Amino acid sequence: MSLYRHQKEAVEFAIRNRGCCALFHDPGLGKTRTGLEVFRYYRGKHPGLRLLVVCPLSLVNSAWGVDIKKFTDFTYAPFKEIKGEVPDIVVINYECLISKNNLPLVESLIWKHRFMCILDESSRLKNNKSVTTKTLLELTGCFPYRLIASGTPMPNSELELWGQMNFVQPELLHKSFYAFRNTYFHLERNGIMRQGSRYMSKDEIREIFSQGWKYDITDENRELLMAEIKPYTHWVKKEEALDLPEKIDETREVTLSAQERKAYKEMEDLLITEIEGVEVTAQIALTKLMKLRQVTAGFLYSATGAALQIGTSSKIKELDEVLEELGNQPVIIWVQFHHEVHAIQKLISEKYGAVRVTTLYSDTPDRDESINKFKNNEVRYLIAHPRSAAHGLTFVNCSAMVFFSLDYSYEAHAQARDRIHRIGQNKSCLYVYLVAKDSIDEELLKVLQRKQSLQDVVYGIVRKKAKGKSPRNA
């Protein structure tokens, strides 16, 4: 099977950059195949060269294993299955790589053999303080060829580029993360520079859904930053590379019942009381706001972990109507909580039969079986969590999704959407959002839309000829 034009161009770009670059291609554009072709080129130059692929666990076999067998004749094995002779391609997930037991074995392996390294879903290096980022940056010098790939390289902020780009080109964005941050970014809240730390007022606490202190970047510095990384990054949007059907977004406003609205107001007031007078971090805010997300779905987890139902869920009623409207076509339903899985399973089983639904969640007993049943149209509905099913899976047998609930992760959200809008899809793709009126749901959707706007702005910059010098060199 021949390469698409954007894949050929990416391979040529990697070669011009001496095997060290970033492939920031939208999900579904075949980054795995592209990476394999870059390795094939350098393997031809250096017959003893091997490839180490670091990727999310879900991609070890489902994406890399499948594509290696489909497109190459290289020997391959997951890291944990290596026995005796080292294969041409070794695939390991991020968590396995950084474990205390495995890291020395990986280091020994790459010292004994010459390896090219590919980091798939490289946004795993977005946190400069994480063990993953620190470990891989320390290993940079072990690999003569380094390729990173991501469809969402900066899901929240341009700050997340530091670790990724420094793996490709050490110290490109300063040796220190803080030097990088202080060069390009400033701390502000709604355009007002921060004047020291203080406790938040009650009114300010009510605004944490969409506001708070953050490091921001000016348009000028964003241009300068993109100019700095542009020589080492190959960007491709799906709309440019492929002739795919349109995407249709539909927001369904859900009016909470009187019982749900009362519970929501009580929980909101309680959470405000709990965090009033303390320094509110992003983690504290997200943890507290999780309770509000539960209420909009019609339940609440108790201190013991039991799910307490709040009357009849308004969202479940709306979902029932949506599924009726969609008819017999396959549908993916995205959720955030275990209780949502069970509630939706119950709805579908009672109305359409238990054999028509399967799940893809952290406690799904047989992940591969669930995937194959849905792909082969043995079941009509797939209830899934984005972190379990958002990477490396293709469901072009399906053209409709329902987001029953949301979280703040733009990366997981964008990846989830692209499970159906990719190579092989021949139908328009429908995305239905169930949003509780006057609730955290509305704020969550706004957050995701803002993060998408960031991706679009950055992409627009890198596609034009960058001008100016880095502020570091000014």
Does any domain span residue 327? Answer: yes
Q: Which residues contact 185 (CB under 8 A, 6 or more apart)?
A: 158, 159, 215, 216, 217, 221
Instruction: Assess if residue 468 is contained within a domain.
Output: no
Q: Which residue has the tokens 């029932």?
A: 320
Q: List Cβ neighbours of 163 (8 Å cut-off, separation of 6 or more).
A: 125, 126, 127, 128, 133, 136, 137, 177
Neighbours of 97 (CB within 10 A): 20
What is the greatest pairwise CA distance in the chain?
A: 70
- Are 434 and 319 within 8 A, CB to CB? yes
Establish how many alpha carbons lie within 13 A of residue 173's alpha carbon, considering only the half-sphere containing its beta carbon: 31
Closest CA to 368 of 347, 388, 343, 342: 388
Q: In the Cβ-directed half-sphere of 137, how many Cα atoms lie within 13 Å?
A: 25
pLDDT at residue 191, rounded to an integer: 44
Residue 112 shares a structural domain with residue 35: yes
166, 49, 55, 177: which is closest to 115 by C-alpha?
Answer: 49
Co-location of 132 and 279 in the same domain: no
Residue with tokens 């950084």: 98
Residues 57 and 37 in one domain: yes
- Quick count: other Cβ atoms within 10 Å of Cβ 379? 20
Q: Identify the pLDDT of residue 268.
A: 83
Residues 12 and 128 grouped into a single domain:
yes
For residue 366, what are the domain limits?
A: 247-438
User: How many structural domains comprise the chain?
Assistant: 2
Residue 208's pLDDT is what? 46
DSSP 125: G
* Residue 120 sits in the same domain as residue 254: no
Same domain, 291 and 396: yes
Based on the fold, state whether residues 252 and 370 are members of the same structural domain: yes
Q: For residues 410 and 452, is the Cβ–Cβ distance under 8 A?
A: yes
Per-residue pLDDT, 277 = 58
- Alpha carbons 75 and 270: distance in angstroms, whole number: 58
How far is Cα 375 from Cα 367, in angstroms, rounded to an integer? 12
Give the model's pLDDT for residue 192. Answer: 42
Q: Are 229 and 286 part of one and the same domain?
A: no
Query: In angstroms, rounded to a whole number, what is the distance separating the alpha carbons of residues 159 and 327?
Result: 44
- Phi and psi for 430 in degrees, rounded to 5? -105, 130
- In the predicted model, residues of the chain with pLDDT beneath 70 are 189-213, 274-288, 390, 465-474
- Residues 145, 274, single domain; the answer is no
CATH number at residue 356: 3.40.50.300
Are residues 228 and 293 located together in one domain of the fold? no
Among residues 179, 164, 173, 171, the alpha carbon closest in space to that of 132 is found at 164
Residue 457: strand pairing partners: none
Verify that 365 and 320 share a domain, yes or no.
yes
CB atoms closer than 10 angstroms to residue 389 = 27
pLDDT digits (tens, 9 = 90+) for 17-48: 999 999 999 988 889 999 999 999 999 999 99
